[in-house]
């Protein structure tokens, strides 16, 4: 290796040129990986607000601009530019290999030590930004130096065809960047995480540096190429240079407005996911690459390159205007077709990404093509006019500084003030004006007004047509087509509010009768509320219980924080407690609060109560900058498939959140069980559980889980005190009027949740291995559900009740008529069925199994036959499946046959069935253990048919009785005696594994909180 690096290699110029283009392709691939991965790293340090996003891009682009300017200023006197470029790549590679370890140390010191010592939030914010900038600015400067150094080195090597050289380099680097965007997110990041991905890019840089060093070994040590022609008077005054640099900066600013605007626009159609973002980024950079490819053989051949640049600029503006027209209707219809036509499978999701990627190409690539052709052409123009090679770096620097202006203009001014459509129209107008200015400058050198007249007419006509004819329909923009497959909200809905914010577009709309209102974040419904009493939406119990449940554990909650405003109902509910002194609600998008104002009285306290403090910022940034320790933190962000949200369900976040709690503080986490699979839920549970001493989970509805966690042991919740005063009113509005209704929703205690977590056996979701961000978009597309977990709540097994988890509604409490939580209407149905069974009156036949059981139970002679008993057991077991999970001890006698089964002598196995079912809902665990053993013995001897629900429950309940006694040996004996007898469904197998993990915990010396 040493000999390879030190010897001189006289390689053919063609081979050197081709090799360097391949090297720069790989460099572009690594560079885009850095941009993508650094953005995720710095998002963890600085947050995901629009301001943070803009500053991250500004640091990155500013560093590149500074590097290009440095290369422009210094490199003219350097010899061996290709080897200088090689050294830049090698240093970049070394820095990348060290980056992750440095970031982790800096982040830990900042959040755990330094921020708590700094007086005031301004200093804390400044410290975060200085450290964040310091982590990527040096590498960004090196990245900025790479293009000017390599371009100038190649031009020195070839001596002519400058335009072809510049275009080829621009093409190869941009093509590598486009591929890097896809490679990073779809392959490398899922495989080796953020640390491995940035190190992969670093190794690539090292290989690039070594290859460039070898290829540059034969570089002629000669001064910069001479001017192609003497400077004329205009060039000497720098008029052309100033015009080109200004045009480059403004064009770059417009391009970044386009890029950010397109990403925001297409996110409304594709969904706000990491996959969609990288597909759009790849389409944009791919267009730039094709522009460089097209111009590389033409840049040196244009007789009037300034006029050609003007027409390219006009073409760019017109292409942007056309993209708006295509997007306004076509993007949503296309995604709707994809959603309706593709299967909900991994392959279907792959085709969905291909389809949305094609849509991004059609919309973004034409304008990006013109942008990609323009920079090499303008640089070549200056070189042809006699400016030295330093203009390569100057043009590149002004291009990056223009990008910074574009980013801040788009995120801070144009999009929030004018909206997406008008921001894009403004950028297109800038491009058209630049094009006309360049054509006008050309006309001064080459007299003739035809080109200027034609360009002006085309530009003006295009802009006026776009302003007059292209409209963004808010009913399309808020449709959430990426979830529903419907490309427009229905005519039965009425738009109340729609605004484009700095980070998201927010809509509030209502049903035509005004009964229900919805608020959406980038097309995804974040909350829905009923504006009139009596018909709460499924979202309301989740938000109300998230705010109410903590008070069942602690009465002295004084200061609380809520992550995610949504509709504001959670904050409104918290403030129903008169003892609460302060609630900080942290929301990243200000438009969400504006949209939520249309929920009026339903969220009034969140908006008007002086104890309510609304903070527009990133949650991590706010909690890290504050020295406050909260008595309660409620984490209720948007869905984890949305880009940036997954970090709030990560191991590192839970560790951090636990450190921000007071000694007796509580942490409440919302977890969706819809549009997600059990593996991802398991990864969240694995992330959360190590950082809290105790926790308990509740179902708010049939697919929303709430976990209440504490650093210390949780007391038994006093649910009755939730129904006092204003808090009780809020609960009543969502159909909860009795403590027992909440007890019915208990999902599990710490031991049960840990057993589920160990059964699922998933690695924790992490900031650095972001499974949720990468995999949840797929589960959303597939309409996945954590089925086995949902079924545990909807059809709770008696085993769970035996272990002290949950309960049934007492007979004197009538279930509500609401259907949000399936176990409550199922309870009403079970009571009705048992009543009909006992009365024999089948007035309304809605449960065929119950009717069949009633008819067959009247025929005692038939019950005495073997075939009759088998058929009866089948019917009774089927009926028990809809009765046992929902009935309490008050119904034990009725389930045991009292009042409906009056045959004088019952066969043994029928008696066993009646006894087992009765005890499964009763409260005599010793008798249940005996009945379960008796049933399993009958099964072992072949006296029972296979596949009975009662057999499954005898097997599970028998184990649970021993576990409730903490009798590991008894559990093991029962299990070993009867294992393999029950025909296991997926649900039974899952519960068996959970019980096994529950049992294993008994062997651990510290299994108690």
Residues 400, 58: Cα–Cα separation, whole Å = 9
> How confident is the model at residue 320, as a pLDDT?
96
Whether the domain at 17-217 and the domain at 530-787 fall into the same CATH topology:
no
> How confident is the model at residue 388, as a pLDDT?
74
- Provide long-range contacts, Cβ within 8 A and 24+ apart, for 866-873: 869/907, 869/909, 869/910, 870/945, 872/910, 873/909, 873/910, 873/913, 873/944, 873/945, 873/948, 873/950
> Of the CATH numbers 1.10.3470, 1.20.120, 2.60.120, 1.20.1250, which one belongs to the domain with range 238-473?
1.20.1250
Residues 762, 775: Cα–Cα separation, whole Å = 13
Find the mean pLDDT for residues 387-401: 84
Indicate whether 862 pLDDT > 90. no
Indicate whether 7 pLDDT > 80. no
> How confident is the model at residue 1008, as a pLDDT?
43
Contacts of 258 (CB under 8 A, 6+ apart): 320, 364, 367, 368, 424, 427
Indicate whether 227 pLDDT > 50. no
How many Cβ atoms are within 10 Å of 229's Cβ, its own excluded? 10
Contacts of 397 (CB under 8 A, 6+ apart): 65, 66, 68, 69, 72, 144
Higher local confidence (pLDDT), 60 or 582: 582
Indicate whether 40 pLDDT > 90. no
Indicate whether 35 pLDDT > 60. yes
pLDDT digits (tens, 9 = 90+) for 799-813: 999 999 988 999 999
> How confident is the model at residue 353, as a pLDDT?
96
Find the mean pLDDT for residues 876-883: 92
Class of domain 530-787: alpha beta
Indicate whether 885 pLDDT > 90. yes
- Whether CATH 3.40.50 fits 17-217: no
- Burial of 280 from C-beta contacts in 10 A (0-12 / 13-18 / 19+): buried
Residues 738, 720: Cα–Cα separation, whole Å = 8
Residue 392's Cβ-side half-sphere holds a number of Cα atoms within 13 Å equal to 29
Mean pLDDT of the chain: 89
Q: Where are the alpha helices (DSSP H) in 386-491?
A: 390-408, 415-445, 450-469, 474-477, 481-484
Whether pTM exceeds 0.85: yes
Lowest-pLDDT range of 76-80, 384-388, 420-424, 690-694? 76-80
Q: Which residues pair with 630 in a beta bridge?
A: 661
């Amino acid at each position: 290796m040493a000999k390879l690096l030190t010897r001189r290699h006289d390689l053919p110029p063609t081979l050197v040129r081709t090799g360097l283009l391949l090297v720069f392709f790989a460099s572009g691939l690594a560079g885009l990986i850095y941009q993508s991965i650094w953005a995720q790293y710095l998002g963890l340090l600085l947050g995901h607000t629009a301001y943070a996003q803009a500053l991250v891009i500004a640091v990155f682009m500013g560093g590149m601009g500074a590097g290009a300017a440095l290369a422009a200023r210094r490199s003219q006197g350097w010899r061996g530019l290709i080897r200088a470029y090689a050294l830049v790549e090698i240093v970049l590679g070394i820095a990348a290999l060290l980056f992750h370890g440095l970031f982790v140390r800096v982040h830990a010191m900042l959040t755990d030590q330094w921020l708590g010592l700094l007086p005031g939030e301004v200093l804390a914010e400044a410290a975060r930004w200085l450290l964040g900038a310091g982590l990527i600015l040096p590498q960004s400067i090196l990245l900025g130096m790479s293009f000017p150094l390599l371009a100038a080195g190649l031009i020195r090597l070839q001596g002519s065809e400058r335009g072809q050289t510049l275009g080829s380099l621009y093409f190869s680097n941009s093509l590598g960047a486009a591929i890097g965007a896809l490679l990073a997110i779809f392959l490398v990041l899922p495989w080796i995480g953020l640390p491995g991905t940035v190190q992969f890019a670093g190794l690539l840089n090292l290989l690039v540096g070594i290859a460039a060093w070898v290829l540059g070994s034969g570089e002629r040590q000669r001064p910069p190429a001479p001017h192609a022609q003497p400077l004329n008077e205009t060039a000497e005054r720098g008029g052309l240079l100033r015009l080109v640099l200004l045009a480059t900066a403004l064009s770059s600013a417009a391009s970044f407005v386009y890029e950010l605007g397109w990403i925001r626009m297409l996110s409304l159609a594709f969904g706000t996911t990491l996959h969609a973002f990288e597909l759009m980024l790849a389409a944009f950079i791919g267009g730039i690459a094709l522009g460089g490819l097209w111009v590389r053989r033409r840049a040196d051949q244009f007789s009037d390159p300034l006029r050609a640049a003007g027409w390219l600029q006009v073409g760019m503006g017109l292409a942007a205007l056309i993209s708006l027209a295509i997007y306004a209707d076509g993007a949503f219809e296309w995604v709707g077709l994809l959603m309706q036509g593709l299967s909900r499978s991994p392959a279907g999701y792959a085709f969905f990404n291909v389809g949305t990627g094609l849509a991004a190409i059609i919309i973004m690539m034409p304008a990006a093509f013109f942008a990609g052709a323009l920079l090499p052409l303008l640089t070549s123009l200056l070189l042809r006019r006699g400016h030295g090679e330093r203009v390569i770096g100057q043009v590149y620097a002004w291009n990056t500084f223009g990008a910074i202006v574009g980013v801040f203009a788009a995120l801070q001014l144009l999009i929030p003030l004018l909206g997406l459509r008008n921001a894009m129209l403004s950028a297109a107008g800038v491009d058209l004006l630049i094009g006309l200015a360049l054509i006008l400058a050309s006309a001064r050198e080459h007299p003739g007004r035809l080109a200027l007249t034609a360009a002006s007419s085309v530009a003006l006509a295009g802009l006026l047509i776009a302003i007059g004819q292209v409209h963004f329909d808010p009913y399309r923009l808020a449709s959430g087509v990426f979830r529903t497959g419907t490309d427009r909200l229905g005519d039965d809905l009425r738009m109340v509010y729609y605004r484009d914010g700095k980070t998201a577009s927010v809509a509030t709309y209502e049903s035509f009768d005004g009964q229900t209102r919805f608020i959406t974040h980038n097309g995804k419904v974040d909350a829905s509320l009923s504006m009139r009493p009596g018909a709460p939406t499924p979202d309301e119990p989740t938000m109300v219980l998230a705010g109410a449940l903590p008070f069942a554990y602690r009465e002295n909650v004084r200061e609380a924080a809520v992550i995610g405003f949504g509709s504001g109902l959670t904050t409104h509910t918290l403030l129903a407690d008169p003892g609460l002194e302060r609630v900080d609600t942290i929301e990243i998008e200000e438009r969400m609060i504006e949209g939520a104002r249309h929920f009026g009285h339903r969220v009034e306290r969140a908006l008007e109560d002086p104890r309510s403090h609304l903070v527009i910022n990133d949650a991590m940034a706010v909690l890290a900058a504050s020295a406050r320790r909260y008595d309660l933190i409620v984490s209720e962000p948007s869905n984890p498939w949305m880009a940036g949200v997954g970090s709030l369900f990560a191991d590192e976040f839970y560790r951090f959140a636990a450190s921000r709690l007071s000694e007796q503080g509580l942490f409440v986490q919302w977890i969706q069980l819809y549009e997600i699979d059990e593996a991802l839920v398991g990864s969240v549970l694995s992330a959360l559980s190590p950082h809290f001493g105790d926790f308990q989970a509740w179902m708010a509805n049939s697919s929303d889980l709430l976990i209440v966690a504490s650093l210390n042991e949780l007391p038994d919740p006093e649910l009755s005190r939730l129904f006092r005063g204003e808090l009780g009113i809020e609960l009543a509005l969502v159909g909860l009027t009795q403590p027992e209704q909440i007890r019915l929703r208990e999902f599990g205690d710490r031991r049960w949740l840990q057993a589920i977590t160990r059964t699922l056996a998933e690695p924790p979701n992490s900031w650095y291995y972001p499974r949720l961000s990468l995999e949840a978009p797929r589960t959303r597309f597939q309409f996945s559900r954590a089925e086995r977990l949902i079924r545990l709540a909807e059809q709770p097994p008696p085993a769970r009740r035996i272990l002290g988890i949950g309960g049934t509604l007492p007979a004197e409490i009538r279930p509500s008529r609401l259907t949000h939580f399936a176990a409550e209407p199922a309870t009403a149905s079970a009571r009705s069925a048992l009543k009909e069974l006992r009365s024999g009156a089948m007035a309304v036949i809605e449960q065929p199994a119950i009717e069949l059981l009633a008819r067959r139970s009247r025929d005692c002679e038939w019950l005495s036959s073997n075939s009759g008993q088998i058929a009866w057991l089948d019917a009774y077991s089927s009926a028990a499946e809809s009765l046992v999970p929902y009935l309490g001890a008050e119904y034990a006698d009725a389930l045991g046959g009292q009042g409906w089964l009056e045959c004088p002598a019952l066969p043994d196995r029928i008696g066993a069935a009646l006894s087992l079912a009765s005890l499964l809902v009763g409260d005599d665990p010793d008798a249940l253990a005996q009945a379960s053993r008796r049933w399993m013995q009958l099964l072992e001897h072949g006296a029972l048919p296979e596949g009975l629900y009662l057999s499954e429950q005898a097997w599970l309940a028998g184990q649970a009785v021993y576990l409730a006694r903490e009798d590991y040996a008894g559990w093991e004996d029962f299990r070993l005696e009867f294992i393999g007898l029950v025909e296991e469904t997926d649900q039974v197998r899952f519960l068996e594994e959970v019980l096994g993990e529950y049992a294993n915990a008994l062997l651990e010396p510290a299994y108690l909180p």
